[in-house]
Chain A
């Protein structure tokens, strides 16, 4: 397996534009997570899905952020409209939730810059 695949690797956009980040989890994994990395707060959990259903979206900063998981092999994180303070690295991760000691496998991240 190629691991968790995120696209794009880098995204530069103007303030007010819509941004869509994409993630393909590891095949067979049933939990998917979106994280945002910032200097101040480290890795913040934005939302996580279990069996394609959003379980906890309490970390989503505001209504400008939305996430979907239409099937087990694809998820998107959308920011509309984007703002400069959204600039960060966004990570997608997946895991197999059956085992309590399961670690999550991360993608390489999308570096988002909003100018």
Chain B
């Protein structure tokens, strides 16, 4: 049972434009949602999170939107930079700090 789904395995955008990464979930018990970024040969690193009682959280160029009725969240990066090229994982967090990840989306930002 894939509780967190990232249906787009890859996304390519031009430098300076907006990147929108999408994530769907099925588990209504998640308390938080987190985005992680992963570069090749490195472990994932935390990027931004949102509480399940919020609908938006912004941190610099990164904004996460949560639509609970649709069980959907998205990560917006604007403006996109070549250094943002990485795999982005969406994750749901429930009690006991258990993270459930999606499959990941490879973002490529072209100069």
Contacts and interface: CB of A to CB of B under 8 A. Distances in A.
Given A55-B96, A100-B31, A109-B41, 8 more contacts: A33-B99, A35-B101, A103-B46, A103-B49, A104-B46, A106-B36, A106-B45, A109-B42
Interface of B: 2, 6, 31-32, 34, 36, 41-46, 49, 51, 89, 91, 93, 95-104
A73 B93 CA distance: 24
Nearest to A96: B97
B99 A45 contact: yes
Interface of A: 4, 31, 33, 35, 40-45, 48, 50, 55-56, 91, 93, 95, 97, 100-109
Contacts of B101: 35, 42-45
Contact of A40 (B42, B93, B99, B103): B103
Contacts of A105: 46
26 contacts: A4-B43, A40-B103, A41-B103, A42-B89, A42-B101, A42-B103, A42-B104, A43-B89, A45-B98, A48-B98, A50-B96, A93-B99, A97-B96, A100-B32, A100-B93, A100-B95, A101-B49, A102-B97, A103-B34, A103-B36, A104-B97, A106-B43, A108-B41, A108-B43, A109-B41, A109-B42
Contacts of B93: 100-101
A4 B95 CA distance: 22
Nearest to B97: A97
Contacts of A107: 43
Contacts of B98: 45, 48, 55-56
B104 to A, nearest CB: 5
B47 to A, nearest CB: 9
* A45, A100, A103: residue with the most chain B Cβ atoms closer than 10 Å: A103
B52 to A, nearest CB: 10
A40 to B, nearest CB: 7
A56 B19 CA distance: 35
Contacts of B99: 33, 45, 93, 104
Nearest to B9: A39
